[in-house]
A and B are shown apart, each in its own frame.
Chain A
Amino acid sequence: MGLALVTDSATLPTVEDALALGLTRAEYDLICEKQGGPGGRAPNQLELAMYSLLWSEHCAYKHSKKLLRTLPTEGPKVVMGPGENAGAVDIGDGLVCAFKVESHNHPSAVEPFQGAATGVGGILRDIFAIGARPIAVLDSLRFGEPHLKSQPFPPGGRKGEKGEGEGARSRYLLDRAVAGIGHYGNSIGVPTIGGEVYFEGPYEQNCLVNAMALGIAERAQLVTSAAVGIGNTVVLFGASTGRDGIGGASVLASAELDLSHSPDQNPPLGGDSSGKGPKGHNRRSTVQVGDPFEEKKLMECSLELLGRGLLVALQDLGAAGLTSSASEMASKGEVGIDVDVANVPLREADMEPFEIMVSESQERMLCVVEPANVAAVLELCEKWEVGGAAIGTVTDTGRMRVFRGGELVGDMPVRALVDDCPLYDLEPVKPTRKPYPAPKALLPQNPPRGDAVGARDATAARGWTGGELLLALLSSPNIASRGPLFEQYDAIVQSRTVRRPGQADAAVLAIRPLGEAGVPAFSPSELNPPSRGAGGSRDPNGPVPAIAVSIDCNGRRVAADPYTGTVGAVLECASNLACVGAKPLGTTNNLNFGNPEKGHIAWQLTEAVRGLGDACRALNAPIVGGNVSLYNESPPTRASAGPIYPTPVIGMVGELPDARRAGRLGFARAGDAVAVVGPFEPSLEASELAKLWGWELPDGLPPIDVQAVAAAQAAVRDAVRAGSVTSAHDIAEGGLAVALAECCLAGNLGALVELDDDVEYLFGECSGGFVVSGDRQALEVFSGQTAVRLIGAVEGQSLRIGSQIDMTLSELGEAHAALAELFA
């Protein structure tokens, strides 16, 4: 190379600096070795910053990569698997559905509004980075107990005794996270069509904010992030680059390293906790700030650039900014990239090269363009009023080189940066002591754990009726209606939403937007869809192909049994899909866990991934992408310290041939028979009722017969598709009685159910049970395929079960509306 790197050993960072950046001594030595030359070469400040990011857990998956390799990632429907910005599955007609889930946990704990908003922004960029138009967002949230005023039995057992502050932080985090998700999704014109939220003590100090997005693309228009074509131009477009997000979700957050040897340099990492710095930048927020308007323009611009065939490769800028996107594009294309930071449009003129390279400013994309097309690309950027600048070149050097004008300021082998980070084996140890305290009892007079018969007798003896238990469960924050959250999201923009939140177990979206008789052919740029009659057409009386999507994970059950709990989470998603008539196509996941360097967390992670793989294999729903978020735990010095419940959030996408037959959860016809379908053998262990009673977590859950559950799902799916059931709802938290109440409330119809007053049968939980309603003869369809038990009929305006439950719809509805107070 013509330019020599200026490295003055006096200003080089030391191994102590590397340690402060989260690298180990051995990793630092390896970096020196990889930097080449006899005996290696110590990296300079910029290089060390780049290595520390790319070799962080967040980018390198160094504690999880080996495990993730065990997951099933291939199948006939998989078009794009893990490793790209998002996975994609074939949905027929030349189209693919792209989807992925990602976490934004730590930023959301610091600043929930922006943390959640930029989480949505980030996952949307992943979708349009592969050339798909985002069509939906879902979110998966976890917080500590909110301590609702309306819960009938607050801690302590008596009303009015709870401290004002209790639950205040969880309520605040929920409120702001929901507002942030809505702010971003609503403003950008992508519907938020589903999601889930759980409240549990172990999330008190470590909330989880996971966002999932889906997109649709023509298969032929998919683009990868591999930089190819020596001599091609690298163009950065979107927002300008500032100091925000430096030291954000990365290892830099905890760094107190002072690399600023020259007096006019800024403290390098934004997160400097010393409180003083040469230019006062040190207290700057480390959380990125999102701008959905900027992203909306960026999205339309990206899709139009792709639609016009102007791009060779495209990649979004997420964690670690330009550093990771440029290096990963080079790595995938097996090329080198030269970047000149002098050409990067900046918000602040005095930014150092390393700041420019590690900034996590939002709403930016990087693309590779043939030189002849650069002018056209920049012109289109101008049309959409987004910034655009040629900042680099694809080279054959295999090196990532950073220039400032004519000066070479960093030079690293791409392979070393991206591929050579050492991977670590987990050292799983099954815990002998329970890692989680028993939840605080929320109901008084609790029967002893594990004694279901005793539970029945005890509750009866202590004056508890099934009806009171049902109301307590319906108003429990984990079960109460999510309506007050979903009402804050636009669920219908883009004219595809056939099942909105609350109408069915899974969201259902028509693959092609519903339009006039001659629906315009789908075009990713959709600048000006062809006029009436042109393009593809939908027979007004023909089927409407659709996709369905669900996201779920009951962390408490995973904590009780990481393998079985994770299998249960995967099955739960597939059951949700079955209830609308959809068959799984593919799965994404976000593994939220504590510190994997601890034996029991490593064991949770290992077992969960084993369950994830087994369940996805059994359902033919391969993993097409995902994300890992580790170290979600608080130091033992704090109250409610320790790890979160292990939370492998599962997102699953399925297909259904005709949206007109999409299932609903609510009872819809008085006189319909009501049946329990599937291998339903509920247990109170780790159930929501057990939690309200303060039972400690069991050591393991009853094993699940996955094949039997899959058979029940197939039977329900077929019955929904055939139109032989009026409603279908899977039995989940709160068990059968809660499922029945939900069917009543969603359909505004009551039911008379003849069952024994068996607490375990009515309130226990397991995988594989469904409540269906329909014509009595039509329900015969299930016999021979799976277990079916007729339990009653749809009638009246109250729910009556056995001798103890007789509640009007308004009593049920009032209890179910418990979360409304959080947003009043």
Chain B
Amino acid sequence: MITATAPVIEEKNYLNAEHGLKSWLLTQDHKRIALLYLMAVSVFFIVGGFFAVLIRLELATPAGDLLDSNTYNKVFTMHGVVMIFFFLIPSIPAILGNFLLPLMIGAKDLAFPRINLLSWYVYMLAGILGTTVLLTGGVDTGWTFYTPLSSTYSNGYVVLTAMAAFVAGFSSILTGLNFIVTVHRMRAPGLTWFRLPLFVWAHYATSVVMILGTPVIAVTLFLLMLERGLHIGFFDPAYGGDPVLFQHLFWFYSHPAVYIMILPSMGVISEVVSTFCTKKPFGYTFIAFSSVAIAVFGFLVWGHHLFVSSQSAYAGMVFSILTYIVAIPSAIKVFNWSATMYKGQVRLETPMLYALGFIGLFTIGGLTGLFLAAMGLNVHVTDTYFVVAHFHYVMVGGGVMGYLAGLHHWWPKMFGRMYSRTWSMVAAGLVFIGFNLTFFPQFLLGYMGMPRRYHVYPPEFQVLNVLSSAGASILALGFLIPGIYLTWSLKYGAKAPANPWGGVTLEWQTSSPPPTSNFDVTPVITNEVYDYTNQEVPHIG
């Protein structure tokens, strides 16, 4: 229902309610905090992307002609650390989740606005530690920090980097805690659990993983710092430790962390697909519970990273079968999204293009995960480019495509402006093509036997590497263009209506951008979510 209040003068909204730096840095408004996160996370995405460019440039030839080995190792380490801890983990939850969760449940804010602001400051503290590492010489352990390389042999700033990831973890924990309490306590009257948008379900599941998993990585990194700094033996056999113990602890968090990075994206896709098909998502309860199932089973599969690490074959079997089981809820989601399109009114606007891209790429990412779960095949392809390709299909093809879908979907709501329809479609196409050209050859490289983290490589791998580097340049362009037209739209974009896409979740029922208090009147929900019966399809473009 669009209420027609004629915008005579600039309406009061959260953006123009207050002015000045202080009004931003001390804000307790979840929407403003989301924008603080947007700025910081975007900077880290650019930094991480810059490292990716260096990697692909170096690998265009078999010899190590651009960077020396030490620098190359630091570059891929920092690419991983920055992208995972400072971009992928906070991106959707801390930006879109922060902005939308209260709006979607008809609340004025998150349950703990001050803790929300604190989480941003904690994240920034971690970011400053990480940036210090970058500026003072870097670290070369790989983002996995495997011992005893990290604890004893590495020359880089391991303790500082581990500290950065350690601190960033607390930011995740605070966000997760805030989301869980908010979903439990702040829902508008009548908004029962099964009337929650799927985006909220996905964020609820993500938050559970955040608060249960993150303390484990914190403890692990703390032990690593103790061993590195004080030579207290946990992981290095020279001090009586066990290097494989580190891998167990690390992956006990880091595998579920993959779901922290992908579940919010899945939530975005559920919203975007439903909106642009003008149709209730097919299998709402199946999609909702599959998020919960992924969160639960995701904690039981870490050992599939250790099939060649001297882990017992029987333990390996258990991890292998559980890995197949955790894949099923993802398959259910893909089928349900596809079925949602059946007999819908499909509009291929930019967010939908990204969503369809997500479905295609995530399908390939998920299916290649089945290759890696097969123990006998895993032995050959683990630690090769096959893993690199699989991981990027899930994290970029899934995580980043979902982030871009969400950013384009809710940009008009966040800033009250429309971006260029043409340019955004061009960019979506470039991202899809560039991504596939970058990462598909890496599956083939991996099966050919090229190990990951190789600075120089035998010449027979060059053709595929050149293809990959060529794709990366297209991908880089695809990421650059949105940076331009989105920034441009902030000043010059057409004013966005309250509901530009014809969505039915609560955030579309308030103005764009929303007022500081989100809703002038607290909504009362009397109907199913995703009821499009009275929703007109708006005219766009």
Q: Is this pair of chains taken from one and the same complex?
A: no
